[in-house]
Chains A and B, each alone.
Chain A
Amino acid sequence: MSGEPQPQTNHIARWRIALVLGGFVLLLMLVQGRLVMLHTVKQPFLYEQGEQRTVRHEVQPAMRGSIVDRHGRPLAVSTPVVTLWLNPQQVQAEQLPQLARALDLSPAKLAQRVAMALEKEREFMYLRRQMAPAQAQKILDLGMAGVYGDDAFRRFYPAAEVTAHLLGIVNVDGKGQEGLEMAYDDYLTGRDGAREVVKDLYGNVVKQVQVTQVPEPGRDLQLTMDLRLQYIAYRELKAAVAAHHAKAGAAVLLDARNGDVLALVNQPSYNPNNRATLKPEHMRNRAIADLIEPGSTMKPFTVAAALQSGRYRASSEIDTSPGFIRVKHKAIRDHRNYGVLDITGIITKSSNVGVVKLAHDLGAESMWSFLADAGVGESTVLGFPGEALGRLPYPEQLDDLRLATVSYGYGLSVTPLQLAQAYTTFTEHGCRLPVHLVMPERRDQVCKRVMSADIARQVIDMMETVTSARGTGRRARVAGYRVGGKTGTAHKVGKSGYEDSQYTAVFAGVAPVSNPELVLVVFVDEPQGQEYYGGEVAAPIFSRIMAQALRLRQVPPDEQNPDWLKNLRVAEGPA
């Protein structure tokens, strides 16, 4: 009983064990097979899915370079801000009112926006862009699911409307839209950094996998502009444009020695820090983008061309009587009959008849080539967006009448900046300088020879008579300094040719005459009221800007024996 059944039990047991074990081994092999399959065949797919769920590619925005003036004062700077956004899929509806309160938004509106986004299955929605980091951190500290903050930068312009036209603006994504911000966008923009990180459910970075790109901040841009001079020019121009109820105005101040743009201002202007009140017509950089007919400010060039031809000298006499000259069907008039004038007198009195006679004697070809050399109708090559070229008719187009009008500045067009650049010809001994807005890395002075140094000197001396008691630009005078310049008043072109009662007033000049350091062009568009002549509207602005600019740049006064000096008593002292 006890011995017999046992082997049988054992036999059954062994069979069963084998079965069970076999079953287990089979299961094990199944699991192993699956494992091998997952690790080999399906590995790429699974790896990618895993990465997608945990690894995030983060962009670290690079800071945009600053723009500074010639002395390093900031004109445009970027500051870090935080952009708050929301993932509508993750946010909890009952937290929305609290979030809205914290952001000072209407809870109903926010709920509506989230509902809309949910409907379209969006996973991204801006809450607020460009927040101050401290403020944004408060919201992020509430720890709400689905609320995220991204680093970004915002641009500030400390000088606001004073430098607005020159600098331009950037859009909300930090891309240059206007002015130098646009022209030098690549230079100013850095390279955004990129890195791969592993994030947990709450968006915290738990592991940095790799840095694919270290952020490179943008480079700083230094301008040749002097902020103090820019302020002065802007203030004076603004006041004058307001006083004359003019439509617009512009002023360009150049360093006469190297063509640096020291100030470039426009009216009307805008505040680039506040986009809400932005008007497109205020954003026009008139000094660079607007073409004006220079009017009489071109006469010094006609006279210089006459002197350069060798047929005239400063003392040569021209008979301008009877005060008008008939060219084809048109009579070109002076203010009154000036009689016989020498070449200097033509500039002093701004005689149209005089320059027309000179131009006709010179001929279209030589007038054209002289003005073309002076840079009329040629781009100033600043790379500034919207820069106008100017226009100078070809010699074939210059019949007697057009040649006559060109001689006194009609029928050709320049920008105020081009006019200022052309005037550097006189200050730089007959050589026209290239103009700079951005501080050049090295200065190789390649100037274009337009006239001889001697003639340039003579023309400056002639222009000084314009600001004398008998000249048209008396009001451009600056106490203590000798100033030379030329007034210009041009009728504006309307629908039916030149308008009778709409003018542009221009004054272009240099100071101090003995050794010119500054060139200034002032342009006022459509001054209203009794005064509209260049000598009445633009010359006083010229005087005020120039007086302060000369003082700020510590230019020694060069006026010899002025009236007040006779009364000045210098105390006797040890020699």
Chain B
Amino acid sequence: MRLPAVALLLWLMVLVTALAQVVSSHHHRQWLVVWQQQDALRLQLLQEQTRLVLEKSTLTAHGRIDRLAREQLNMTDPQQIQVLTP
């Protein structure tokens, strides 16, 4: 009477732990998918950031600003430097 009960309990425990392992490895796999997606996103954002940095540096290049200032804003170099000493 006693022995079968212990055996049943053990059997149930084996079953439960087996299922728990299935659940945990399932979770692990899902987290892995999330991690992979995030990592891909990280690389994508990194690429986007580099692109924007490069774009910004192209747009703010000294030569370009200089040209735009002259052509579009009609700016010129100061012809006579005026020093007003107090």
A residues adjacent to B (C-beta < 8 A): 63, 73-74, 77-80, 132-133, 151, 156, 158-159, 205-208, 227-228, 231-232, 235, 479-480, 551, 556-557, 564-565, 568, 570
Q: CA–CA, A464 to B32, complex, Å?
A: 71
Nearest-neighbor residue (CB-CB) of A73 within chain B = B57
From residue 34 to 54 of chain B, which have CB atoms closer than 8 A to chain A?
35-36, 43-44, 46-47, 50-51, 53-54
Q: Which residues in B have their C-beta under 8 angstroms from that of A208?
A: 28, 32, 35
A77 to B49 Cα, complex, angstroms: 10
5 examples of A-B residue contacts, CB within 8 angstroms: A80-B50, A133-B47, A159-B61, A207-B32, A480-B83
- The answer to whether A158 and B83 touch (CB under 8 A), given A79-B46, A133-B43, A231-B63, is no
The answer on a CB contact under 8 Å between B62 and A227 is yes
Q: In the complex, are the beta carbons of B58 and A156 less than 8 A apart?
A: no
User: Which of chain B's residues has its CB closest to A234's CB?
Assistant: B63
Q: A73-B57, A207-B25, A207-B32 provided; 8 other pairs, C-beta below 8 A?
A: A73-B60, A77-B50, A80-B46, A133-B44, A159-B57, A228-B62, A480-B83, A557-B81
Contact of B54 among A74, A232, A480, A565 (CB under 8 A): A74
Q: Give which listed residue, B54, B77, B83, contacts A77 with CB less than 8 A.
A: B54
Q: Is B29 an interface residue (CB 8 A)?
A: yes
- Chain B 65-86 interface residues, beta-carbon cutoff 8 Å to A: 77, 80-84
Interface residue count for B (Cβ, 8 Å)? 26
What's the Cα separation between A227 and B32 when bound, in Å?
44
Q: Please give the distance in Å from B56's CB to the nearest CB on chain A.
A: 8
The answer on a CB contact under 8 Å between B50 and A206 is no
CA distance A232 to B32 in the complex (A): 51
A260 to chain B, nearest CB (A): 18
Q: In the assembly, what is the distance between CA of A228 and CA of B57, in Å?
A: 11
CA distance A570 to B43 in the complex (A): 61
CA gap between A479 and B81 in the complex, in Å: 8
The 5 closest A-B pairs by CB, nearest first: A79-B50, A480-B81, A158-B57, A228-B62, A231-B62
Closest to B44 in A: A133
| CB atoms of A568 and B50 under 8 A apart | no
A351 nearest CB across to chain B (Å): 34
How far apart are the CA atoms of A48 and B9 in the complex, in Å?
A: 36
Question: In whole angstroms, what is the CA distance A78 to B50 when docked?
Answer: 7
Q: Are A156 and B81 in contact, CB atoms less than 8 angstroms apart?
A: no
The answer to whether B84 touches A206, judged by C-beta atoms less than 8 angstroms apart, is: no
Residues on B with C-beta less than 8 A from A74 are 53-54, 57
Set of chain B residues within 8 Å of A564, measured between Cβ atoms? 80
Is A207 a contact of B63 with CB atoms below 8 Å?
no
Question: Is B62 a contact partner of A232 (Cβ separation < 8 A)?
Answer: yes
Q: Give the residue of A77, A205, A227 whose beta carbon is less than 8 angstroms from that of B36.
A: A205
